[in-house]
């Protein structure tokens, strides 16, 4: 069923040039539903930091509700303490792919072939900012993937002896016809679950340091830890 297992991954994109001549390396963070192959959220960024994975999952939960498990590889973006904390807050289990096992993430890797078509189109019609890139990507994603027949879905049903319509089945159709109900959290609670935080220990003088700046708390709190919401 939908919502049982999501996969998230980052793909290297092209280098684009802004109007001032600066070069920007791009990265695509995407989250796919393992059953329907629907892309829950996909967005281009100018970095591949752990925060872009957290942001991708966060936005997907806001749009489609809660899910059961998240399947990731073992890169630093996917084993961050913050991602594990946020998923635990909403009841999502994180599962890690075996090392060097590309086949285990075949569905999102297949989706990345669709991304390659988009990248090829940018050669003929360049973009000059991440925001412009995302505007074009949103249109491409909806029309050239979500609503297009998917051979993987058809192959699955044929393997079960189920007839597939001549026009095929798209990820969006497969998602919409699933019988499992969507379950949403209050948007404020979702934002709280994905809020970023760090902890620091207060020293004997009642101070703690954060990002190169020393802050004064109170000597009465010496030895305790302070939580900093980001």
Tens-place pLDDT, residues 58-86: 999 999 999 999 999 888 889 898 999 99
Burial class, 19, CB count within 10 angstroms (exposed 0-12 / middle 13-18 / buried 19+): exposed
What is d(CA 36, CA 176) in angstroms, rounded to the nearest whole number?
Answer: 9
Query: Mean pLDDT, to the nearest integer, of 108-115?
Result: 94
215 pLDDT band, cuts 50/70/90, is: very high
Taking residues 205-212, report their average pLDDT.
90
pLDDT digits (tens, 9 = 90+) for 173-197: 999 999 999 999 999 999 999 988 7
Average pLDDT, rounded, for the chain: 93
pLDDT of residue 212: 87
Helix (H) or strand (E) holding 90: none
The pLDDT of residue 230: 66
Tell me, letter by letter, the H, E, C secondary structure of 164-184: CCCCCCCHHHHHHCCCCCCCC
- The answer on pLDDT for 101 being more than 70 is no
Question: Is 94 strand, coil or helix?
Answer: strand
Contacts of 105 (CB under 8 A, 6+ apart): 7, 9, 71, 73, 97
- 169-203 burial string, b = 16+ CB within 10 Å, else e? bbbbbbbeebeeeeeebeeeebeebbeeeeebebe
Copy the structure tokens of residue 121.
Answer: 């189109």
pLDDT score recorded for residue 105:
80
CA distance from start to end of the chain: 35
Q: What's the whole-number mean pLDDT along residues 206-220?
A: 89
Select from 33, 36, 76 the least CA-distant residue to 57: 33
Helix/strand/coil for 26? strand
Residue 210: its pLDDT value, please? 87
């Amino acid at each position: 069923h939908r919502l049982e297992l999501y996969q998230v991954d980052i793909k290297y994109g092209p280098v684009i040039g802004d109007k001032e001549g600066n070069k920007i390396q791009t990265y695509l963070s995407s989250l796919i539903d393992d059953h329907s192959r629907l892309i829950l959220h996909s967005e281009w960024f100018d970095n591949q930091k752990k925060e872009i994975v957290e942001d991708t999952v966060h936005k997907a939960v806001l749009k489609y509700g809660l899910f059961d498990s998240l399947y990731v590889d073992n890169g630093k973006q996917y084993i961050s303490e913050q991602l594990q904390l946020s998923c635990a807050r909403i009841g999502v289990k994180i599962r890690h792919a075996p090392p060097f096992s590309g086949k285990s993430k075949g569905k999102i890797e297949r989706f990345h072939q669709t991304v390659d078509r988009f990248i090829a189109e940018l050669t003929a019609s360049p973009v000059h900012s991440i925001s412009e890139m995302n505007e074009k990507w949103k249109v491409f994603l909806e029309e050239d993937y979500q609503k297009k027949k998917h051979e993987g879905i058809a192959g699955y049903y044929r393997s079960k002896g189920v007839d597939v319509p001549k026009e095929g089945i798209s990820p969006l159709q497969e998602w919409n016809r699933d019988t499992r109900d969507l379950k949403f959290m209050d948007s404020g609670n979702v934002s709280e679950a994905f809020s970023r935080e760090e902890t620091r220990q207060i020293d004997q003088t009642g101070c703690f340091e954060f990002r190169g700046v020393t802050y004064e708390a109170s000597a009465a709190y010496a030895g305790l830890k302070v939580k900093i919401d980001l």
